[in-house]
Structures are given as structure tokens and as C-alpha cells.
Structure 1
Amino acid sequence: MSVFTETARHADSVIIDTETINSVFGREIIEIGAILLKEGDIICEFDQLIRPLGDVPLSALHFSGIVPDELDSQPLARQVIPVIIKAIQELSIIGHNISYDITSINKEADRIGCAHLDAECIDTLEIARSRFPNAPSVSLQEVMHLLGQAVEDHRALSDAKWTLECWRRLTAMQTPLFVPETARRDAQYRVMVEKRRRERIFVRSEYFKNHDITAQNRQPPGTVLSTVECGVEVSGDENHQTILGGYGYDAWLWVFVIQDFIRTGKYAGYPTYWVYLDGEEIGYISEYQMERHCGQIPPEGAVLLSHIPNRVADINKGKWQLRLQLPFEHEPVDLSSNVKKVRKTRKPAEKSPVQKTPIRNPKTNNHEHFINVKPHKKVLSPGGKVRVIYLDEEAQTCLDTYESGSRMWVFVRVSEEILTVRFKGDLIGTIDIKGDAKEFSPDGNVAAATIVRNENETIVEVELPAPLT
């Protein structure tokens, strides 16, 4: 840190970025990255992890890749923040959504009891809005994508480097650039995928607060991909109930996964991942899931976590279902050119009943049947605005005994432009809300919702007042 503070005397500006968590103490910084500039040239790069006062939520691992163990030996904010503030107080500060970083630093300053950071700021987010006036999002990742560069890492110093590149490219633009409609649709899709990813992280983080995910079996040799981002059903595990039943419900297990081909059935020859538990071949993932997770496992295979959920439907049937924990899904990839020709055995096709989503009016009435008792809170007036929640396996556990089309009451509450949604006390998802939230009570409200199931996923449609942006 001494090199940074000494070099800061010769700098005229600094790029900063922070990684934060929300703990019982409020917003805390767990990493700060900075790049000192003199006349636009880099003269020093600085990165510092910070040990927070509160516990580090699992979401921090998913958003930034920072593991709680990395922070145990790091200095506290009171040992870092006052030094940083003093070093950069007289410099021009550049950042993407810089007000967030300045506020985070000053929240730490309030806890410590030192002076605030109060300096001239340049916000690349605001510059991006003027350069891309019709862009659906001006997040750092989206702006760099519009500028022809993909951003993958999400750590403080790497984000500071991308912010510097973003600033240089944006300031070099002479006139605003309107994003073509095709590119706008692509950007909207990416924003939607990222929103779903963040919602899933939030829900899973809540689950893992009260659950131990330590694997019960011995870890097999191989490269470890330690992720719990996306649970995917394993097909064929119905033939291996003895080994799964031996571990029981809610068990977390190490498995070995390697790419191969589906051997029988309609999709015989299609690429897939085969799953092995304690050396026993358990099953594979469907072609639908493979199209969304291909390329995530190295050719030599990898060791991953898996889970046997304690769903009511499984318990009632006396069966154990294995779910493979993979990274978040990507856009579907057509793998038809990779299909391996296999000799298929003729088998009469079984027709499965088509499940139709009921057509309904969003307005509730007193004659509708709801699967739960209405909580004693003010019911929001439905205004024809239906928002969708995509459920992960923990949220599905709460609803797995109810049919598609089932109507239910949910409890919703606003928290920092996010609407949390609970069913019978369990968090099942979140909804982004921006702008006017006057319809919502600080103590929470009740809203009507509908369970909708299709072949590949279960969603919940929540009816909210309009307008809602």
C-alpha cells in the first residue's frame, strides 16, 4: 500500500472499483481496486482484499468469485479505507456508476469515524448513456459489448481496467451512436439472462444460509469444478435407487462427470454428460440441458457436486432423484452436427399428455380457489401487469405438490428496488422494480399468483399493479 500512496502524489486521476457485500453491519467493502493515471497513462495498479465485520454470503462467491477463506487473513476496513481516502482525495476519480463506489467507501468511513471521500468524479455510466442513447442497458459489461469487447471477470481491479478502457473508447467517440434494432434485441436478451442469473443467486444464497452442503462421500480424483449455480436433473437415476437411497434425501455428493453420448431412446447418439457416483454410472443430462451447458466440462472430465433434494413428491413416491450442479446455462447451442450414429431398437412411441396453461383473467375474484390461506396483509390491486419468477430447485421444492394452473397467495415486500416474493414463509424469488413503488406497503403486501409448468421448467406468474417499470 505504501507504493500506492507514494505514487498517488504524482497522479492526476484514479480509476476505482469496489466489490461489496450486505451483512448485518450494512454494506461492506471486501475488495477495492485502483489504477493511478498521469496524463492518461497508467503509473500504478493497486488491489486489496478487505476482511468484513459480517459473514460473507454465498452470493459473493457467485458474483465476484471471492471465497470467504481468502478474506480471513486480510486487513480490516479501518486499516485500509482511511489510507485510500487520504491518497486519492485530491485526484479526479473515474468509475462506472461511481456514486455507488463513493457511497460504499463513505459508509466504511462512517463506521470507522474518518473523513469522507469528497472529490471530483467522472462517471463512465453517464457518458455511456449520452453515447448510446437507445441502449437497453449501460452496465459495464453491456457497454463494453457494444464497444466490441466481452467482459468476463468480475473483480475490483479487473473491473477498474475495463472501466479505463471504457472511458478511453467513449471519450474518443465524436457523436452518439444509435444501437440497431437487432443489436438492441440481443442486448435485451443478455440483460434478461443476467437478471435471471442474479435472481437465482439471491434465492440460492438464502437457501444455503441454513443448509450444510458438505459432500458426504469421498472426493474422486480429477479437476474440481466447485459450483452450485444451476441444478440439472440426471436421467437414468431411477435404475440406481439403491446407492442413492443409501445416502438419503438432502444429501450432497461428489460425482465424476465426463462427456459422452446418449445411448438409447429418441436422442440416442446426442452428446451429453455422464455422471458417476462412487464409481457407479448413474445417468446423463437431457439433450435440452446439454445444449445449454455444453463446453462447461473439460474433455478429460471433472469432479462436481450433486444433490438429492428432499422434495415432497419424491418422498411420497419413495424415490431419490440426483441433480448435477453445473455453472449457469448459456444460450442454446445446436449440437446436431455432433450426433453420433447408433443402431436404434424399434420401440412403440409413448404419447405423453400435453399440459395446457389455463387461460385466465388476471383479475382475482371471490370464487377462485387458492391453495393457501390469504395472509393478513393488504392485497395489491392487479392492474394487468404479470411478472414472471423462474424457480430453481429449492423454490420448486415448496411448490412440487401443486399442479400447473394452481392459484396461490404470495407475500411481497420491497427491499432496495427488489421485490422479494414468499410463499408460506419460504422465499421463492425476486422481481426487479424501479421507479414508483408507492403501491407497496413497507410492511409488505399480498398478491395473487399462478403456478405454470411446462416440459422444461416451472414458473410463477405474479400479478402486480400497473404501471410497474
Structure 2
Amino acid sequence: MVPIDLQILKYIFMEKPIYYFKMKPYFQTEPYLNLCEYMEKTPDKELSNNLNQREYTVFDLETTGFLPEIGHEILSIGAVRMDVKGRIIDEMHQLIKPIRPVPKDILSLTNLSRESLAAAPSFIDGFHRFLAFSEHSTLVAHPAHFDVRFLRAMVKRWKLPEYSPACIDSQLMAKLAVPHVSHRLDPLLSHFNIHSLERHHALNDAVMTAELFKELLKIICEEHGIYTYSGLQQELKKQKSS
């Protein structure tokens, strides 16, 4: 394992220029300009503060590593859309063509092939699809501080307009709702008897997280008396700092 400080230096002096060189041709293409326009002009819909009157997009990413700040990339996005009654009404699974070669251990972990990734659309097209899919909803991820941070770092790398979506961290929700259970996804699935699908597949993980989110939201509302998005965010901020 290469020390993190050496990875940072390698990215700054060797890989970052390569990324920019390979991304630059996209910057004047129609899909890129359309995405910029979409992000700048699509107004945020006023969402209800009531947690039970919002639609949610529960999503998961498969990536080449944990640090987008040093060049790690998104390989796939899986997402499910939930209506105000907590029902899954739509789903998406999008592969993303990476800029740099993918390590063999990541391919093995995700069961993705170089061929399928090479044939996939760019981050520009994949992210545009995700934005349209999740429009006028609140994002949920486990943990959101990883997945949302990764998306925002990719947006910055691609020099797109700022991206600051409304989101809920289901891992922090679990810390509040079931403090006696490990807050990793697998132990939580077992605790709530949620059917386990093949892991490290973005859509499967999104589906399982959606089922978990429903259970956690019920506890948050019924046992903790938290019914508003603003109230939940205040409590989750406490969990994050504790």
C-alpha cells in the first residue's frame, strides 16, 4: 500500500495533468454544456419539512477508492426513488467510464469488467441522468458523508456548477435509532431482517439501504418524536460530533 502522502504527490504532479488532458475535450461538447445549463437553471423545488411528505432518492456509488481528492473515480451509480409512502417507484443503475485504468482488486470486488466500463458513458452523461432521476427529492446514502462528498468532488474536478443537494445520512440515523447495533450496513440489514442482495453492486446496495431507511425513519418518528427534516438534521449533527 502506497503511503497517502506519496499518493497525493503522485496525483498532483503526475495524474492530475493527465486527468485534465483527458477531460478537456469534453468541456465544449453539447452534453457538457447541456449539463452545466441544467445545473444552473433547474430551480430547487420547495420540499416539505415533514419527513413523511418528502420523496427520497436512496443511492450508492462504486468507486476506484475512497479519496476523490487524489483522483479516485466513480464506476457506477445505483439509485432508487421512494414516494411519500416509502414505496420504491423507480430505479436506475448507471456504469461510468473512468478516465484512468481501474485496479484489478476493484474490478474483482465490484464484478465489473474493463470491457463494460470502456463501453459506458462518461461521468457527464451518467451524472446528468442521476440528477434528472433524483430531481425534487432528498438524497439518502449510507454513509452520505462519503457518497455525497464523492459526487461533489467529481463535480469540482469536472468544473461543473456547484452541487449542494439536500441529503440524509442513514448511517448517522442508525447511530441515533439503534445505538446498540453496529452502524455498518451488513449488521443493520441483519438486525432488521432485511433480505441481503449481492454486495458491492451499486443498485443492490441502494435497494437494501432504502429498506433500511424506511425502518430507521419509522423509529426516528415514532420513538424519538422527530418529524421534520430540519429537526432530524439537528439531531444527526449531534451524532456526527459525538
In 2, distance between residues paired with 1:121 and 1:158? 20
1:21 matched residue in structure 2: 64
2:216 matched residue in structure 1: 170
Query: Residue 13 of structure 1 contacts residue 36 of structure 1 at CA under 8 Å; is this kept in 2?
Result: yes
Query: Residue 80 of structure 2 contacts residue 88 of structure 2 at CA under 8 Å; is this kept in 1?
Result: yes
Structure 1: gaps spanning 5 or more residues: 1-8, 177-469
| 1:141 alignment partner, one of 183, 186, 197 | 186
1:42 matched residue in structure 2: 88
2:156 matched residue in structure 1: 110
TM-score by length of 2: 0.61
Q: Describe the shift of the 1:54–1:159 C-alpha distance in structure 2 as closer, same or farther (beyond 3 A).
A: same
SS of residue paired to 2:76: strand
Percent pairwise identity: 23
SS of residue paired to 2:61: strand
For the pair shown, the structure with the greater C-alpha radius of gyration is 1
| Superposition CA RMSD, Å | 2.5
Q: Describe the shift of the 1:132–1:56 C-alpha distance in structure 2 as closer, same or farther (beyond 3 A).
A: same
Query: Residue 140 of structure 2 contacts residue 167 of structure 2 at CA under 8 Å; is this kept in 1?
Result: yes
After superposition, what is the alpha-carbon deviation per residue over 1:326-367, rounded to whole angstroms, capped at 9, x for unaligned? xxxxxxxxxxxxxxxxxxxxxxxxxxxxxxxxxxxxxxxxxx
Query: Residue 98 of structure 1 contacts residue 121 of structure 1 at CA under 8 Å; is this kept in 2?
Result: yes
After superposition, what is the alpha-carbon deviation per residue over 1:15-47, rounded to whole angstroms, capped at 9, x for unaligned? 111111139961211000111222122221111
SS of residue paired to 1:51: coil
SS of residue paired to 2:136: coil
How far 1:58 sits from its partner (Å)? 1.7
In 2, distance between residues paired with 1:84 and 1:102? 13
Structure 2: gaps spanning 5 or more residues: 1-44, 46-53, 225-242
In 2, distance between residues paired with 1:122 and 1:25? 25
How far 1:56 sits from its partner (Å)? 0.9
Q: Describe the shift of the 1:134–1:13 C-alpha distance in structure 2 as closer, same or farther (beyond 3 A).
A: closer
Taking the TM superposition and a 5 Å limit, the aligned residue runs for 1:296-375 are none
SS of residue paired to 1:149: coil
After superposition, what is the alpha-carbon deviation per residue over 1:218-257, rounded to whole angstroms, capped at 9, x for unaligned? xxxxxxxxxxxxxxxxxxxxxxxxxxxxxxxxxxxxxxxx
How far 1:12 sits from its partner (Å)? 2.8
Q: Aligned pair 1:153/2:204, yes or no?
A: no
The higher relative CO (CA closer than 8 Å, separation ≥ 6) is in: 2
Q: Aligned pair 1:57/2:94, yes or no?
A: no
TM-score by length of 1: 0.33
In 2, distance between residues paired with 1:35 and 1:121? 14
SS of residue paired to 1:158: helix
Q: Aligned pair 1:12/2:55, yes or no?
A: yes
**Amino acid across the alignment from 1:44:** D
Query: Residue 197 of structure 2 contacts residue 205 of structure 2 at CA under 8 Å; is this kept in 1?
Result: no
In 1, distance between residues paired with 2:78 and 2:106? 16
1:121 matched residue in structure 2: 167
